[in-house]
Amino acid sequence: MPDISDYDKLDYDYSTYWEKREYENSAEKHILNKIFNPKHGNWFLDIGGSYGRLTSTYYNSYNKPIILDYSLKTLQRNKEIIKSKYPNVELIAANAYKMPFKDNSFDGGLMVRVLHHIEKPKTYIKEVSRILNNNSTYVQEYANKVHIKAAIKSVLKLNFDIFSEEPYQQPKRGSNEGTTESEKNIFLNYHPSHIKKLLENENFSIVKKYGCSFLRSPFIKKLLNENIMMFFEIIMQDMLSWSNISPSIFLECKLSKSEAENIEYADLKDVLHCPDCKGDLNIDQEKAICKSCSKEFFKKEGIWDFRVK
């Protein structure tokens, strides 16, 4: 199993990352609101959803939203705040590579700002296609390796490696999302063609591509306030999303699964299964036991811990 970016080992409060990034936050939510606001469905999964930064964009469209994250501490720390704003949200600690859900359970899902921590995107995309239903909407965001600044820098250095489809591991620069220079840090930027192929191989079709955060630059941030930046961002999202110049790309995808049964799972315990062997679970208030492999899972301070590697 690939390595995991375990935020719990870093004791990092990810919400602090957003304190001075209102422009990027609004730019991302603008896209997600456009995608999810007209949608309707039952179960929805925010994979690597952390403290629920993006929950407002899908909460009113899906009846049963779940935030899944590998960081149990983040979910425990933010549980009360998330639940007070979004009472229907369930929080589950689990690994995106091995999710504790039955096949074809979800009508919608998203992964934003997490793929750079995913070393084996092919394995992950296969797993997410397993749990999503036929015709479900899935949004995959990724850090774009060939964005305009990176492309110009490479051409000036006469280094054309950037245009290969290989993922690009960002060099360690000081503290990055809580990791320090000495720690192993999975921080991958992906080539748009690579991600498109991986999604299409698992029967996702790309409904629409959106460029995002076109103006991400400390220099522009010093010159313009957030409202003016958003004014230009929206124009650029509308006019330049066909290109690969933005540092972040959102893909709105639809999954086609001809063989999927459309089962309406009513409760959380109905969608859950063992993340290790996919066996059925015996679930009570605080503990779940796999009927096949006997593995035990516990609720810890109100959050189910289904993390396996």
Ligand X SMILES: C[S@@+](CC[C@H](N)C(=O)[O-])C[C@H]1O[C@@H](n2cnc3c(N)ncnc32)[C@H](O)[C@@H]1O
Site for ligand X, rule CB under 6 A: 4-5, 7, 14, 48-50, 53-54, 69-71, 74, 95-97, 112-114, 117, 177
DSSP assignment of the chain equals ------HHHHT--GGGGGTT-HHHHHHHHHHHHHHHTT--EEEEEEET-TTTTTGGGTTTTEEEEEEEES-HHHHHHHHHHHHHH-TT-EEEE-BTTB-SB-TT-EEEEEE-S-GGG-S-HHHHHHHHHHHEEEEEEEEEEEEBTT-HHHHHHHHHTT--GGGSSS-EEPPP-S-BTTB-TTS----EEB-HHHHHHHHHHTTEEEEEEEEE-TT--HHHHHHS-HHHHHHHHHHHHHHHTTSS-SSEEEEEEEE--TT-------SHHHHB--TTT---EEE-SSEEEETTT--EEEEETTEEE----
Footprint on residues 70-89 left by Zn ion (CB under 5 A): none
Report the nearest approach of Zn ion to the CB of residue 296 (Å): 10
Q: What is the dihedral of CA 90, 141, 29, 304, to 10 degrees?
A: 10
Report the nearest approach of Zn ion to the CB of residue 278 (Å): 7
Report the nearest approach of ligand X to the CB of residue 157 (Å): 28
Check: CB of residue 96 under 8 Å from CB of residue 118: yes
Report the nearest approach of Zn ion to the CB of residue 98 (Å): 11
Establish if 277 lies at the interface with Zn ion (CB under 5 A): yes
* Gap between the Cα atoms of 180 and 248, Å rounded: 23
* Gap between the Cα atoms of 151 and 148, Å rounded: 5
Q: Which stretch, 47-55, 92-100, 237-245, 290-298, contacts Zn ion (CB under 5 A)?
A: 290-298
Q: Which among ligand X, Zn ion, none contacts residue 277 (Cβ within 5 to 8 A by kind)? A: Zn ion
Question: Cβ closer to ligand X: 161 or 183?
Answer: 183
Q: Which among ligand X, Zn ion, none contacts residue 274 (Cβ within 5 to 8 A by kind)? A: Zn ion
Question: Cβ closer to ligand X: 97 or 204?
Answer: 97
Count of chain residues binding Zn ion (CB under 5 A): 8
Report the nearest approach of Zn ion to the CB of residue 290 (Å): 3
Question: Cβ closer to ligand X: 119 or 224?
Answer: 119
Q: Which among ligand X, Zn ion, none contacts residue 246 (Cβ within 5 to 8 A by kind)? A: none
* Gap between the Cα atoms of 99 and 111, Å rounded: 14
Q: Which stretch, 54-62, 152-160, 237-245, 270-278, contacts Zn ion (CB under 5 A)?
A: 270-278
Report the nearest approach of ligand X to the CB of residue 79 (Å): 14
Report the nearest approach of ligand X to the CB of residue 206 (Å): 20
Question: Cβ closer to Zn ion: 4 or 289?
Answer: 289
Q: Which among ligand X, Zn ion, none contacts residue 230 (Cβ within 5 to 8 A by kind)? A: none
Question: Cβ closer to Zn ion: 177 or 276?
Answer: 276
Establish if 279 lies at the interface with Zn ion (CB under 5 A): yes
Q: Which positions touch Zn ion (CB under 5 A)?
A: 274, 276-277, 279, 290, 292-293, 295
